[in-house]
Structure 1
């Protein structure tokens, strides 16, 4: 027996013992895979030992080859057994973590409520949908064209002073009303149309008990052949009676650049008149801007602030209460 043979046998025996100890101590499947590569991989310890067989005689090589196969089988068996054990432990741990104790009391989560603004919007839209209107929405960041120009309000029109808004560096602005949605809708649809446009709008108002720089609005638009102010008046009266019940309604002459004639609408509520919305017949210039023939089609529009309706319905005195997220206030609704 040569020295080289004894050395290789010793290395194989040591490798087996070392591998068995390392496999027994492996704590995860990832660790086990690293051990497989270390001992049985192409560049692993076993391959390195077998690389020394070139120094053996032809008679000694079969003996080392047989011993190497035994070591490889022992190590592979140890890896397989340890892998099965680790997988079983992993499954047990997962089952334990996912076990549901049906006898435990449930976790209480208080049921949420609609914000008064949300409920007011939903209530109004339900009424308009019942009258045959389609709900449409548009971007809050608008171009000057859709917010003003297409609504018969050119750059030098004094009506812009009433809606001085937040302008952006690129020339766009935060919309001052949802009328821009009506323009976009008319551009994409042919008459007859009936659309309700809810959304958030922005104006450079001084914040106080009845004003906010950011508020919500709902506007309606109807365009068809033969629509008159009578149709507008009937629609508004029906809507307000659905919102507030049997109430007295009055129309006062007013001015809006995109409607002619125009009117403010008041309701008699708790013994006094309250202004609740503005309305009017669509100005022919607005119809022309979207490609409608004003000789064939007429239309009417109306709009109101959701916050004002919510304050009336819930007898609120300060608009800022709607934005404070004070649970002591919101739990009332």
Structure 2
């Protein structure tokens, strides 16, 4: 009888404590107090040893009933507390739909990407194909197929990142031209530009980088002349730097072209009068070009007496620096948002932003 009265008291106290619990932490404390390993309900089982054998089953059943009643009350209270907490959270985190929206920042094309795409668009309009190739290239296509045998002194001009004796990081995109000519089986016409990244052992300063971009062009067909090259480059200069630009061709040397030229454009800042951009000369060097060397054509399977062609190569990094007044080539590759944000909405050709 004593044990039964104790059960009733514990049950009533536990149910009252459950109802008074105002949060999950308080409810957990009630659970531990009554149902834990050292809890009051668990302690009721200690009286079992003092009971006659025939009374033990009925006593154990009553203890379980008390336990189940308390557990049910705790579960119900937990649901109530969870709902209250959720409602409070919703009230605190409610959204005022009358507030003005937050503006989403718009991105802009990277100045280097913009320059490359501008050049690609021009040549696509002239009927050229865009061809890409391998950045990890064979020595043969990077040098030998371009009239640069292993003993050629011009190789000293291009310190290279070699992976093995015969594999290297390409030093220019010219291997794409060599591979394309080889694939045409000696039949023209060929009219391509080859954009991509190239790698050279170069000083890492404001105007040089060990990695940079290059776009090379190649045209091979019957009766291609130097005048065709000049007309193409003149159109390129006017498209990039303004309709009033002029170009000049200076004799130069490249192993894969003969004759070879350096190409200058009249300064778009001072209009040829002389300034800091053109170093007071009125002209800015922008690319190299020339007529495709007969040896290059022959190695690719073309009859150099039937076919001729011209090739040119430019650095979009340098052109972008000139167009947008960028003084340090390393800005292109540091992903500094402060630098990139300057080019939002810059569409005018030749506009200086830095």
TM-score (norm 1): 0.66
Structure 1 residues 210-246: Cα deviation after superposition (integer angstroms, max 9, x where no partner)? x413464432344665372355444333222222314
Match of 2:78 in 1: 82
How many angstroms apart in 2 are the aligned matches of 1:298 and 1:232?
A: 12
Matched, 1:148 2:143: yes
Distance in 2, matches of 1:256 and 1:150, equals 14
Task: Give the Å deviation of 1:284.
Answer: 5.9
Consecutive unaligned residues of structure 2, counting only runs of 5 or more, are: 273-281, 344-351
Is this contact kept in 2: 1:196–1:219, CA < 8 A? yes
Contact 1:174/1:202, CA 8 A, preserved across alignment: yes
Any idea what SS the aligned residue of 1:164 has? Answer: coil
Aligned to 1:125: 120
How big is the shift at 1:328? 12
Residue in 2 aligned with 1:258? 256
Q: What secondary structure, in the 3-state scheme, does the structure 1 residue paired with 2:116 have?
A: helix
2:289 is matched with 279
2:315 aligned partner: 305
CA distance in 1, matches of 2:146, 2:82: 72
TM-superposition CA deviations, 1:33-80 (whole Å, max 9, x none): xx69x9599xx9989977997976445524532452353133124213
- Unpaired segments ≥5 residues, structure 1: none
Corresponding residue number in structure 2 for 1:64: 60
1:238 aligns with 2:235: yes
Distance in 2, Cα, partners of 1:285 & 1:68: 100
Q: Verify the 8 A CA contact 2:11 2:70 in the aligned structure 1.
A: no
**Secondary structure at the counterpart of residue 24 of structure 2:** coil
Structure 2: distance between partners of 1:147 and 1:243? 29
Contact 1:144 1:172 in 2 (8 A): yes
**Matches of 1:50 and 1:170 in 2, distance apart?**
85
Aligned to 2:266: 268
1:83 match: secondary structure? helix
- Paired with 1:150 and 1:196, the residues of 2 have a C-alpha distance of 18
Quote how far apart the aligned CAs of 1:157 are: 1.7
State TM-score, norm by structure 2. Answer: 0.63
How many residue pairs match? The answer is: 317
Q: Secondary structure at the match of 2:287?
A: strand
Q: What is the DSSP-based 3-state SS (H/G/I as helix, E as strand, rest coil) of the residue aligned with 1:103? A: coil
TM-superposed deviation, 1:163? 1.7
Contact kept in structure 1, 2:286 and 2:319, CA below 8 Å: yes
2:194 to 189, 192, 197: 197
Distance (Å, rounded) in 2 between the aligned partners of 1:186 and 1:40: 84
The alignment yields a C-alpha RMSD, in angstroms, of 5.0
1:2-26 CA-partner distances (Å, limit 9, x unpaired): x9xx3x9857975885698589376
